[in-house]
Amino acid sequence: MLVHICTDCNSVSINRIAADDNPESVLAVYHSYLDVSHHFVDEQGITMLRAEDMDAVYTQLYGQTVETAIS
């Protein structure tokens, strides 16, 4: 799922990732998220993915782990 926080009103929207979503775009969002603060969503009780979850992300998007995808 993708979590969006509105910069105007701070409302949180959670959206499912669909089968027809571009996996490279979803992966880009995941990587850009790793560079920002997590404290707002943590306060909302939302557990976000971390860098150590990368294998799970790749498995969900591509059906294989990072090591398998790279080699």
| Predicted TM-score (pTM) of this structure | 0.64
DSSP readout, 8-35?
TT--EEEEPPPTTS-HHHHHHHHHHHTT
Q: Does the pLDDT at position 71 exceed 60?
A: no
Question: Tokens representing 17?
Answer: 């990732």
Residue 20 confidence (pLDDT):
92
Q: What pLDDT digit, counting tens, does each position of 4-14 carry?
A: 778 898 788 88
| Closest CA relative to residue 59, chosen from 26, 35, 20, 15 | 26
Q: Does the pLDDT at position 22 exceed 90?
A: yes
Q: What pLDDT digit, counting tens, does each position of 23-55 carry?
A: 999 888 888 877 766 666 667 777 778 888 888
